[in-house]
Amino acid sequence: MLSMKLKSHLIYKKEQRREIVILLTIIAAGLVVFKLVNFSTEPILDTSSPEIVALQREIDSIKKNQAEQKQKAKPFNPNYITDFKGNALGMSVHEIDRLVAYRAAGKWVNSAEQFKEVTGISDSLLAVISPLFKFPEWVENPKRKNFNSRYSSQKKTQLAKIDLNEATAEELQQVRGIGKVFSERIINYRNQLGGFSDDNQLLNVYGMEPEVVERIKELFTVKTPKEIIVINVNRASASDLATIPGVSYGLAKKIWEFRKLRGTIDNLEDLQKVPGISESKFKQIQLYLSIE
């Protein structure tokens, strides 16, 4: 009985069967069309065609010119022109090399006329880029015109050197290897100390190389030293030694253990035998130590 009822539901009339066939045919046709036809609204371009390649080159050229114009618009110190910057400004390789050689000799360009004389650029190019030249304050400020004369030679007598505790960031930047970042670090560290007590304290400035410190000492020196508290290395604990600028607790403990093994330290230079104390590190910490 149940099978008869089920069979009756599966029997379709002739019209129903025809409608089912038509529906299946439409569905099949739709699938074929969807598979074969690209319905994307974006046009398909042949990127290898000469017209497209030429257009892309023109767009790239416009972007490059815009980037160069943006870079040209910023004031800059012509003494620090890099190869990339010089090329963007329109300078030739030889003109850039002349400037680099001039700076390598420890000399400075202090005017647009001097820049033209050193590099040999044309008057037309100079007219375009010179309005963007930005020289240090001591060049642009008439009250300090005589500052550059103090740098006429690399080595100065003690009397001619500038007090390191009074030097400005602009003055420090005249030393090869000292830019804006390092000049600010030097001044910030000087402020932390309350003033330098010795030239070798420059070695404590983060990232400062000994060679650069030596170049600074050719033009600057501490003339108004700040008084510091000296620690007797033969009586100090590791905690006492760790208060010295540039001495970590780990290094302080090594110094303390070195002294305990020896009983006493008769010569501060013996501390260079302690692991971790190089010649430059010794120069940094000996100011704070005594053997009394």
Buried b (16+ CB within 10 A) or exposed e, 25-49: eeeeeeeeeeeeeeeeeeeeeeeee
Residues 116, 122: Cα–Cα separation, whole Å: 7
End-to-end CA distance of the chain: 120
Kindly state whether residue 37 falls inside one of the protein's structural domains: no
- The length of the chain in residues reads 292
Confidence of residue 107 (pLDDT cuts 50, 70, 90): confident
pLDDT in tens, 133-178: 887 655 555 444 444 444 444 456 677 889 999 999 999 998 988 9
From 221, 240, 271, give the residue that closes a domain: 221
pLDDT tens for residues 52-67?
777 777 777 776 665 5
28-57: per-residue pLDDT in tens? 777 776 666 665 555 555 566 777 777 777
Q: Are residues 161 and 211 in the same domain?
A: yes
**How many domains does the chain divide into?**
3
pTM of the model: 0.40
CATH code of 274's domain: 1.10.150.320
Structural domain including 201 reads 146-221
Question: CA-CA distance, 124 to 116, in Å (whole number)?
Answer: 11
The reported pLDDT for the residue numbered 71 is 52
Is 44 a domain residue? Answer: no
- AA letter at 161: K
Which pLDDT score is estimated for 201? Answer: 87
Q: Within a domain: residue 16?
A: no
Angle between helical axes of 112-119 and 93-104 (0-180°, round to 10): 110
Instruction: Please tell me whether residues 90 and 115 are part of one structural domain.
Output: yes
Instruction: Provide the pLDDT confidence category of residue 182 given band limits of 50, 70 and 90.
Output: very high
Do 213 and 154 fall within a single domain? yes
Instruction: Identify whether 187 is part of a domain.
Output: yes
168, 190, 221: which is the final residue of a domain? 221
Is residue 73 classed exposed, middle or buried when 0-12, 13-18 and 19+ CB atoms within 10 A define those classes? exposed
**pLDDT bracket for residue 186 (50, 70, 90):** very high
A 10 A CB-CB count for 221 gives 21
